Structure 1
Amino acid sequence: MNPRLRHWREAATLLLAAGSPGRPPRCPLGPFDYELLLLRRSSRSGFMPGAHVFPGGLVEAADFSAEWLAVLPAAPRCGMGAVKPPPPGGVRAPLFATDRERLGSPLPGEVAFRICALRETFEEAGILLLVPGRGPAPPLPAERLPPAAELGRWRRRVQEDPSCFLQLCRHLGCAPNIWALHEWSNWLTPVGRGGRRYDTAFYLCCLEERPPHASQDDQEVTAVLWSSPPEAIERFKSQEIWFPPPQFYEFCRLCNFSSLSELHKFSSERALEGCEHWMPVMLTASDGSIQLLPGDELYPEDPDYTGEKKTIMSTDKKIEELMKEGSIFHRIVIKTTHNYAVYVNIQAKYKHINPLMINCDSSDYNSKL
C-alpha cells in the first residue's frame, strides 16, 4: 500500500472471461464464444450504488504481506514475465512504478495488485482461482476445492479479515493464480466523484472452461451476471443494467474479439508492453458531458489530477457542435445515464487496441472520424 497517496486509494479489478454456454446471440455483432462476469453493487454502497461492475476493490495491507513469499515462487517478480520499458516519451504508470520496498513491502506492486483482484473476486463472487503448489501451474480443478459449505465459511472469514486469504491458500497447499491475470489498463477516478477516488489496475483473465459458479454475498454485491461484451452493451442500452464509463469503454474494446482464444492470445502478448495511466477529464456541455481521455485534442496539457486547482471545463455548446468542430478524438460522450458513445481515432499505444465506436442512440458524428 502507498500511504503517500492523499487524493486516491489503490485498487484492483478483474475482467474475468469464460467460455460461453452457447446461448443465441443477442446483438448485431454476431456470436461471441465467451462471457464476462459483472456484479451489481448494493444500492446502499457509497460508491457507484446499483452499478454493474467487474469484481474488485481496495488493496489491503494483507495483499502486500511478506508472508506471500512463502506461498509464491522465489524467482524474480514471483515468476511473472517482465514488462518492457515504456516507449520513447512514455512512462510506467505510477501504480506499477512505485518502489514498494521503500514503502516496506518486498512484494512488487504487480504481484500485490493481482492478489487483491483474486481475493476480491473470491469475496464478492465466490470464485476461487488457484494453482496447486507454488505455481505457475495449470489451474486447480474445481473438484479439488473444498465442499461448498467449507468454502462459504472461508469466504466469510476473508471478507472479515483479508489476511485469511493467505491462510486459505496455505490450508489448501495452493497459490493464487497471479499468472493467469494480464495487465490490461489503469484508470484513475476523475475529479469530482464525491471525494472517493481510486487508482485502479484492470487485469484480464481468460478461463477455458464455461463460467464457474458465482454467487453474490448480499452485502457488497446483490446480483451476478455473465454476459458477452456486445450483450452487456445491449443490456445497458435497454436500461436493464447500468455501468460506469470505464466499463463501457472496456466492453467496446472487447467487442474487437469474438473469440476467447484470440482475446487470450492478444492479452497475454500485449500485457508485456505495460499500459497507460488514464484519468478522464470532464467537459460539461449544454446537453450532456464528455469524458476526455489522453490524446484527445481537448484534453488539458496539465490535467488537474488532485482537484486542488478547482479546474472546471464547461461550454455553452452542444455535444453535436463540439463533435463537428473536432478532429482528434479520444472521448466518451455521455448524453444520459444510459446513453454513452465512445469516439476514438488516435493511435493506440502500448500495442493495445482501440474500442469499437458504439453509440447508444441514433446520433451520428462519424463524418469526422
Structure 2
Amino acid sequence: MSCPLRPGASNWRRAATVVLAAGWPRWVPAAPSRPQLPAEGFRLLLLERSEKQNFLPGAHVFPGGVMDAADRSSDWLRLFAPHHWPPRFGLGPAPPQRVVFPGLSDAVARAVDGDAGALPDDVAFRICAIREAFEEAGVLLLRPRGPLAAEREPGLALAPSLDLADWRSRVRRDAQHFLCLCAHLDCTPDIWALHDWSCWFTPFRNSDVLRFETLFFLCCLREPPQVLSDSGEIVNCQWLSPLEATESFLSEKIWFAPPQFYEIRRLENFSSLSDLHRFCVDRELEGAESWLPILLITADRLIQLLPATTGTPGYFTLYTLR
C-alpha cells in the first residue's frame, strides 16, 4: 500500500474493506418426493495474510487497506462524467451522518468526518476498497462507463485481462495507476455495487499498535470471480460460507481479528445471496454504525468486548485475543 492519506489530528488511519459474498450453490439432501437439488447459498472471500506482515500476521481478512490520496483525486471526476456527478455520483440519497464518538476533540472529529479532497467519503472509501480488492486478490470490481441499470441485482466482476499482473504491480507501487487502469479499460469502479455495512475503530492497546477507522462494505456477486493472491502480503485465498468460516475459527484452523469474526457471525443470519442483497438494498438509508471495541486486561489474557448481538442494552460478546 502506497502513500497513505493520514489526517493530521486523528489517531486513526482511514481504511476501507469489502466483504465479497458470491453466489455458491449448496446441495439440499434428497427426499422421497424429489431428487437432490442445488439451493442458493453464498460464500465469502477470505485472504490469508503473510506471517511476515507487521499488522495481523497470519490472520484471515477481507480485501482492504489504507486510503490513498489517489482515491480522492479530482481526476476521477472526468472518468465518472458525464453520467455521474457530485455530490452523490448516483449512489442515491445520503444516509445519516455517522456519529463521532463522545470525547473526541473538535480537531479529531473534523479529521474523522472527512479529509480535504475532490471526492466525498462515500465515493473515496469505495474506490479505496475496490482498489485494494484488485491489489490483494486480483478482483476487478469495475463496470463500463455509462448510465446505471434500473434493476438492483448482484453484480459481476470483470474478467481479468492478460496484462493483469503488470497492472497489479504498477498499482501496488502507485495507487494513481488504478485510475489509469480504469481509463485504459473505459470503466469506472463499481461503487454502486458496494453497500454500507459497518465501521470499526481500533481500540487503544499500546502506542506501537496501528489504529484504523475502517469502513466495511458488502458486495454481492452472482458468481465467484477468479482470485489470485499477490504472493507478498497475501499468501492464500479461499471461499468459505459464514458457517464454515466460524467452524474453522473455533477449531483453530484459521484466525480472525475481532471485527472480521463479528461480521462473519452476522452474515450467518442470511440463508441465500438474494436475501443478503435485498437486506443491503433495503437498509441503504440507515448508513453504517460505528463500533469501538473495549479492551479488558486480565491476569492471563486480553479480552475484547464487542457490540451486543442480542439487542439487550449493556450486553456484550466476549472475544479472547490471540
TM-score when normalising by structure 2: 0.82
| 1:87-145 Cα distance to aligned partner (Å, 9 max, x none) | xxx83686997244xx2x120011000000000000000000111014535856745x5
Shift in Å, 1:83: 2.8
| 1:19-38 Cα distance to aligned partner (Å, 9 max, x none) | 1143789xxxxx87000000
Cα distance change on mapping 1:64 and 1:35 into 2, 3 Å: same
Residue 228 of structure 1 corresponds to 241
Residue 119 of structure 1 corresponds to 131
CA contact (8 A) 2:7 2:111 kept: no
Matches of residues 139-154 of structure 1 in structure 2 within 5 Å?
Answer: 142=158, 145-147=160-162, 150-154=163-167
Does the residue aligned with 1:71 lie in a helix, a strand or coil?
Answer: helix
| The one of 201, 206, 213 aligned to 1:199 | 213
Matched, 1:41 2:54: no
Does the residue aligned with 1:200 lie in a helix, a strand or coil?
Answer: strand
| 1:25-56 Cα distance to aligned partner (Å, 9 max, x none) | 9xxxxx87000000001111010000000000
CA contact (8 A) 1:292 1:330 kept: no
Cα distance change on mapping 1:97 and 1:82 into 2, 3 Å: farther
Shift in Å, 1:294: 5.9
TM-score when normalising by structure 1: 0.72
Residue 179 of structure 1 corresponds to 192
Does the residue aligned with 2:89 lie in a helix, a strand or coil?
Answer: helix
Shift in Å, 1:290: 3.6
Once the two structures are overlaid, the 10-residue window that deviates more, 190-199 or 280-289, is 280-289
| The one of 226, 229, 244 aligned to 1:216 | 229
CA contact (8 A) 1:8 1:198 kept: yes
Matched, 1:52 2:60: yes
Q: Which amino acid aligns with 1:61?
A: A
| 1:318-354 Cα distance to aligned partner (Å, 9 max, x none) | xxxxxxxxx84443323463xxxxxxxxxxxxxxxxx
Instruction: Return the alpha-carbon distance in structure 2 between the equivalents of residues 95 and 264 of structure 1.
Output: 33
CA contact (8 A) 2:157 2:225 kept: no
Q: Which amino acid aligns with 1:42?
A: S
Residue 319 of structure 1 corresponds to none
Q: How many residues align?
A: 292
Residue 346 of structure 1 corresponds to none
Matched, 1:331 2:316: yes
Instruction: Return the alpha-carbon distance in structure 2 between the equivalents of residues 142 and 49 of structure 1.
Output: 30
Instruction: Return the alpha-carbon distance in structure 2 between the equivalents of residues 277 and 141 of structure 1.
Output: 28
Cα distance change on mapping 1:75 and 1:107 into 2, 3 Å: closer
Residue 167 of structure 1 corresponds to 180
Once the two structures are overlaid, the 10-residue window that deviates more, 280-289 or 117-126, is 280-289
| The one of 213, 229, 237 aligned to 2:250 | 237
Shift in Å, 1:258: 1.2
Shift in Å, 1:277: 1.6
Does the residue aligned with 1:204 lie in a helix, a strand or coil?
Answer: strand
Does the residue aligned with 2:175 lie in a helix, a strand or coil?
Answer: coil
| The one of 93, 98, 104 aligned to 2:113 | 98
Q: Which amino acid aligns with 2:161?
A: P
* Structure 1 spans left out of the alignment, 5+ residues: 26-30, 297-326, 338-369
CA contact (8 A) 2:243 2:268 kept: yes
Instruction: Return the alpha-carbon distance in structure 1 between the equivalents of residues 306 and 237 of structure 2.
Output: 30
Residue 322 of structure 1 corresponds to none
* Structure 2 spans left out of the alignment, 5+ residues: 30-38, 102-108
Does the residue aligned with 1:4 lie in a helix, a strand or coil?
Answer: coil
| 1:138-165 Cα distance to aligned partner (Å, 9 max, x none) | 856745x523xx1111111111111000
Instruction: Return the alpha-carbon distance in structure 1 between the equivalents of residues 121 and 306 of structure 2.
Output: 25
| The one of 22, 26, 29 aligned to 1:18 | 22
Instruction: Return the alpha-carbon distance in structure 2 between the equivalents of residues 166 and 118 of structure 1.
Output: 11
Residue 188 of structure 1 corresponds to 201
Percent sequence identity over aligned pairs: 48
Instruction: Return the alpha-carbon distance in structure 2 between the equivalents of residues 141 and 124 of structure 1.
Output: 15
Instruction: Return the alpha-carbon distance in structure 1 between the equivalents of residues 45 and 110 of structure 2.
Output: 24
